[in-house]
Homo-oligomer: A and B are copies of this chain.
Amino acid sequence: MKLPPNTKFVLIGDSITDAGRDPSGEATPWGAPGHGRGYVGLIEAWIGATRPADHIRLINRGTGGHTVRDLKNRWQTDVLDLKPDWVSIMIGVNDVWRQYDTPLRPEGHVLIDEYTRTLEELVTRTRPHVKGLVLATPFLIEGHRGDAMRKTMDAYSDVVRTLAKKHDAVFVDIQGAFDEVLVHTHPMTLAWDRIHPNTTGHMIIARAFLKALGAL
Protein backbone atom coordinates (compact mmCIF):
# COMPACT_ATOMS: atom_id res chain seq x y z
CA MET A 1 0.00 0.00 0.00
CA LYS A 2 1.62 3.19 -1.17
CA LEU A 3 -0.15 5.50 1.30
CA PRO A 4 1.59 5.19 4.67
CA PRO A 5 -0.31 5.56 7.95
CA ASN A 6 -1.40 9.06 8.91
CA THR A 7 -1.46 10.27 5.29
CA LYS A 8 -3.56 13.32 4.42
CA PHE A 9 -4.81 12.72 0.87
CA VAL A 10 -6.51 15.48 -1.16
CA LEU A 11 -8.45 14.42 -4.27
CA ILE A 12 -9.42 17.22 -6.65
CA GLY A 13 -11.46 17.16 -9.84
CA ASP A 14 -14.88 17.83 -11.38
CA SER A 15 -18.38 16.45 -10.78
CA ILE A 16 -17.13 12.85 -10.98
CA THR A 17 -14.98 13.58 -7.94
CA ASP A 18 -17.53 15.86 -6.27
CA ALA A 19 -20.46 13.43 -6.53
CA GLY A 20 -22.59 15.39 -4.10
CA ARG A 21 -19.99 15.92 -1.36
CA ASP A 22 -20.79 18.35 1.41
CA PRO A 23 -18.67 21.47 1.76
CA SER A 24 -16.28 19.78 4.18
CA GLY A 25 -15.47 17.07 1.67
CA GLU A 26 -14.56 14.72 4.51
CA ALA A 27 -15.90 11.55 6.11
CA THR A 28 -18.66 11.99 8.65
CA PRO A 29 -20.22 9.57 11.09
CA TRP A 30 -23.71 10.13 9.70
CA GLY A 31 -23.29 8.67 6.22
CA ALA A 32 -21.43 9.28 2.98
CA PRO A 33 -22.26 12.83 1.92
CA GLY A 34 -19.00 14.19 3.33
CA HIS A 35 -17.12 12.42 0.56
CA GLY A 36 -20.04 12.33 -1.83
CA ARG A 37 -21.60 9.28 -3.46
CA GLY A 38 -18.75 8.57 -5.85
CA TYR A 39 -15.32 7.03 -6.06
CA VAL A 40 -13.84 9.15 -3.26
CA GLY A 41 -16.42 7.85 -0.81
CA LEU A 42 -15.82 4.29 -2.00
CA ILE A 43 -12.05 4.58 -1.57
CA GLU A 44 -12.54 6.09 1.87
CA ALA A 45 -14.93 3.29 2.88
CA TRP A 46 -12.63 0.57 1.57
CA ILE A 47 -9.63 1.90 3.47
CA GLY A 48 -11.70 2.55 6.60
CA ALA A 49 -12.98 -1.03 6.47
CA THR A 50 -9.67 -2.73 5.70
CA ARG A 51 -7.09 -0.56 7.48
CA PRO A 52 -8.87 1.09 10.40
CA ALA A 53 -5.60 1.49 12.30
CA ASP A 54 -3.88 3.42 9.50
CA HIS A 55 -5.76 6.72 9.92
CA ILE A 56 -5.71 7.69 6.26
CA ARG A 57 -7.55 10.99 5.90
CA LEU A 58 -9.20 11.78 2.56
CA ILE A 59 -10.33 15.27 1.55
CA ASN A 60 -12.59 15.65 -1.49
CA ARG A 61 -12.12 18.84 -3.48
CA GLY A 62 -14.15 17.99 -6.57
CA THR A 63 -16.46 20.67 -7.96
CA GLY A 64 -19.11 20.03 -10.61
CA GLY A 65 -18.47 21.50 -14.07
CA HIS A 66 -14.84 22.42 -13.45
CA THR A 67 -12.08 22.32 -16.03
CA VAL A 68 -8.34 22.50 -15.40
CA ARG A 69 -8.69 26.27 -15.81
CA ASP A 70 -11.02 26.32 -12.81
CA LEU A 71 -8.69 24.12 -10.77
CA LYS A 72 -5.90 26.61 -11.33
CA ASN A 73 -8.06 29.38 -9.86
CA ARG A 74 -8.55 27.51 -6.61
CA TRP A 75 -5.29 25.60 -6.41
CA GLN A 76 -3.76 27.62 -3.60
CA THR A 77 -6.76 27.47 -1.25
CA ASP A 78 -8.09 24.07 -2.19
CA VAL A 79 -4.82 22.14 -2.43
CA LEU A 80 -1.65 23.84 -1.25
CA ASP A 81 -3.14 25.51 1.82
CA LEU A 82 -4.32 22.11 3.07
CA LYS A 83 -0.69 20.90 3.22
CA PRO A 84 -1.53 17.43 1.92
CA ASP A 85 0.83 14.45 1.97
CA TRP A 86 -0.64 13.07 -1.23
CA VAL A 87 -2.68 14.70 -4.01
CA SER A 88 -4.84 13.16 -6.74
CA ILE A 89 -5.98 15.04 -9.85
CA MET A 90 -8.68 13.76 -12.22
CA ILE A 91 -9.65 16.53 -14.65
CA GLY A 92 -10.46 17.01 -18.32
CA VAL A 93 -14.00 15.72 -18.83
CA ASN A 94 -15.51 19.21 -19.02
CA ASP A 95 -12.52 20.60 -20.90
CA VAL A 96 -13.53 18.26 -23.73
CA TRP A 97 -17.30 18.04 -23.21
CA ARG A 98 -17.92 21.76 -23.68
CA GLN A 99 -16.40 21.47 -27.18
CA TYR A 100 -19.18 19.02 -28.06
CA ASP A 101 -22.24 20.07 -26.09
CA THR A 102 -21.95 23.84 -26.62
CA PRO A 103 -19.74 24.08 -29.71
CA LEU A 104 -20.79 27.70 -30.38
CA ARG A 105 -19.40 28.99 -27.08
CA PRO A 106 -15.62 28.84 -27.56
CA GLU A 107 -14.94 30.75 -24.34
CA GLY A 108 -15.88 27.59 -22.42
CA HIS A 109 -13.59 25.26 -24.36
CA VAL A 110 -10.21 24.32 -22.87
CA LEU A 111 -8.24 23.13 -25.86
CA ILE A 112 -5.47 20.58 -25.53
CA ASP A 113 -2.62 23.07 -25.47
CA GLU A 114 -4.08 25.04 -22.59
CA TYR A 115 -4.99 21.78 -20.87
CA THR A 116 -1.44 20.42 -21.13
CA ARG A 117 0.20 23.66 -20.10
CA THR A 118 -2.11 24.27 -17.14
CA LEU A 119 -2.09 20.72 -15.82
CA GLU A 120 1.70 20.63 -15.97
CA GLU A 121 1.89 23.97 -14.17
CA LEU A 122 -0.25 22.60 -11.34
CA VAL A 123 1.83 19.43 -11.14
CA THR A 124 5.05 21.43 -11.06
CA ARG A 125 3.80 23.76 -8.33
CA THR A 126 2.73 20.78 -6.21
CA ARG A 127 5.23 17.97 -6.69
CA PRO A 128 7.96 19.38 -4.41
CA HIS A 129 5.55 19.80 -1.49
CA VAL A 130 3.97 16.32 -1.45
CA LYS A 131 5.09 12.77 -0.82
CA GLY A 132 3.00 11.36 -3.61
CA LEU A 133 0.93 12.41 -6.57
CA VAL A 134 -1.83 10.58 -8.46
CA LEU A 135 -2.85 11.53 -12.00
CA ALA A 136 -6.01 9.92 -13.34
CA THR A 137 -7.32 10.15 -16.90
CA PRO A 138 -10.57 11.76 -17.89
CA PHE A 139 -12.88 9.36 -19.71
CA LEU A 140 -15.93 8.91 -21.89
CA ILE A 141 -18.16 5.88 -21.29
CA GLU A 142 -18.29 5.21 -25.02
CA GLY A 143 -17.01 2.04 -26.61
CA HIS A 144 -16.87 3.38 -30.18
CA ARG A 145 -13.34 4.77 -30.43
CA GLY A 146 -14.03 6.51 -33.73
CA ASP A 147 -16.52 8.87 -32.04
CA ALA A 148 -15.19 12.42 -32.37
CA MET A 149 -15.54 13.20 -28.67
CA ARG A 150 -13.94 9.90 -27.66
CA LYS A 151 -10.98 10.65 -29.88
CA THR A 152 -10.52 14.05 -28.29
CA MET A 153 -10.86 12.55 -24.81
CA ASP A 154 -8.23 9.92 -25.63
CA ALA A 155 -5.82 12.66 -26.65
CA TYR A 156 -6.31 14.32 -23.25
CA SER A 157 -5.77 10.97 -21.55
CA ASP A 158 -2.45 10.69 -23.38
CA VAL A 159 -1.44 14.04 -21.92
CA VAL A 160 -2.13 12.71 -18.43
CA ARG A 161 -0.16 9.53 -19.09
CA THR A 162 2.82 11.54 -20.33
CA LEU A 163 2.79 13.96 -17.42
CA ALA A 164 2.49 11.12 -14.90
CA LYS A 165 5.60 9.47 -16.29
CA LYS A 166 7.54 12.76 -16.50
CA HIS A 167 6.69 13.91 -12.96
CA ASP A 168 6.86 10.60 -11.06
CA ALA A 169 3.14 10.34 -10.38
CA VAL A 170 1.01 7.26 -9.87
CA PHE A 171 -0.95 6.92 -13.11
CA VAL A 172 -4.56 5.70 -13.00
CA ASP A 173 -6.05 4.74 -16.35
CA ILE A 174 -9.79 5.25 -15.75
CA GLN A 175 -10.60 5.12 -19.46
CA GLY A 176 -8.83 1.78 -19.71
CA ALA A 177 -10.73 0.42 -16.72
CA PHE A 178 -14.04 1.38 -18.34
CA ASP A 179 -13.00 -0.08 -21.68
CA GLU A 180 -12.59 -3.51 -20.10
CA VAL A 181 -16.14 -3.46 -18.81
CA LEU A 182 -17.58 -1.97 -22.02
CA VAL A 183 -16.74 -5.21 -23.78
CA HIS A 184 -19.64 -6.76 -21.86
CA THR A 185 -21.79 -3.79 -20.87
CA HIS A 186 -23.45 -1.14 -23.05
CA PRO A 187 -22.69 2.48 -22.03
CA MET A 188 -26.42 3.11 -21.41
CA THR A 189 -26.25 0.65 -18.48
CA LEU A 190 -23.56 2.66 -16.73
CA ALA A 191 -24.50 6.28 -17.47
CA TRP A 192 -27.32 7.84 -19.47
CA ASP A 193 -25.13 10.77 -20.48
CA ARG A 194 -21.95 8.67 -20.97
CA ILE A 195 -20.25 10.83 -18.33
CA HIS A 196 -21.79 10.50 -14.85
CA PRO A 197 -21.64 6.82 -13.90
CA ASN A 198 -23.87 4.93 -11.47
CA THR A 199 -22.36 3.19 -8.42
CA THR A 200 -21.01 0.37 -10.57
CA GLY A 201 -19.13 2.94 -12.65
CA HIS A 202 -17.77 4.62 -9.54
CA MET A 203 -16.67 1.22 -8.22
CA ILE A 204 -14.77 0.73 -11.50
CA ILE A 205 -12.99 4.04 -10.86
CA ALA A 206 -12.39 3.30 -7.18
CA ARG A 207 -10.92 -0.11 -7.96
CA ALA A 208 -8.57 1.43 -10.54
CA PHE A 209 -7.32 3.84 -7.87
CA LEU A 210 -7.01 1.16 -5.18
CA LYS A 211 -5.12 -1.16 -7.55
CA ALA A 212 -2.73 1.62 -8.57
CA LEU A 213 -2.15 2.42 -4.89
CA GLY A 214 -1.66 -1.21 -3.92
CA ALA A 215 -4.66 -1.14 -1.59
CA LEU A 216 -7.06 -3.59 -3.22
For the complex formed, measure the closest distance between the CB of A142 and the CB atoms of chain B, giving whole angstroms: 9
Identity of the chain B residue whose Cβ is nearest the Cβ of A178 in the assembled complex = B49
**CA gap between A46 and B200 in the complex, in Å:** 7
**Are A45 and B105 in contact (CB-based, < 8 A)?**
no
Tell me the chain A residues, 96-122 only, with Cβ under 8 Å from chain B: 97, 100-105
Contact B44 A199 (CB under 8 A): yes
State whether A202 and B45 are in contact (beta carbons under 8 Å apart), knowing that A27-B104, A105-B57, A188-B149 are contacts in the complex: yes
Q: Are B45 and A181 in contact, with the CB atoms below 8 A?
A: no
CB of A131 within 8 Å of the partner chain: no
Binary interface encoding of chain A residues 21-48 relative to chain B, with 1 for a CB under 8 A from any of its CBs, else 0: 0000011111110010100011011101
- Is A200 touching B44 in the complex (CB atoms < 8 A)? yes
Determine whether A193 belongs to the interface, using a CB cutoff of 8 Å to chain B: yes
CB of A87 closer than 8 Å to a CB of B: no
What is the oligomeric copy number? Answer: 8
B103, A186: Cβ atoms closer than 8 Å: yes
- Count the A residues whose beta carbon is within 8 Å of the partner chain — how many? 55
Q: A146 contacts the other chain (Cβ, under 8 Å)?
A: yes
Cα–Cα distance between A50 and B188 once the two chains are bound (Å): 18
A204 within 8 A of B: yes
Chain B residues whose C-beta falls within 8 Å of the C-beta of A55 in the assembled complex: 103-104
Residues of A participating in the B interface, judged by any CB pair closer than 8 Å: 26-32, 35, 37, 41-42, 44-46, 48-50, 52-53, 55-57, 97, 100-105, 144, 146-149, 181, 183-186, 188-196, 198-200, 202-204, 207
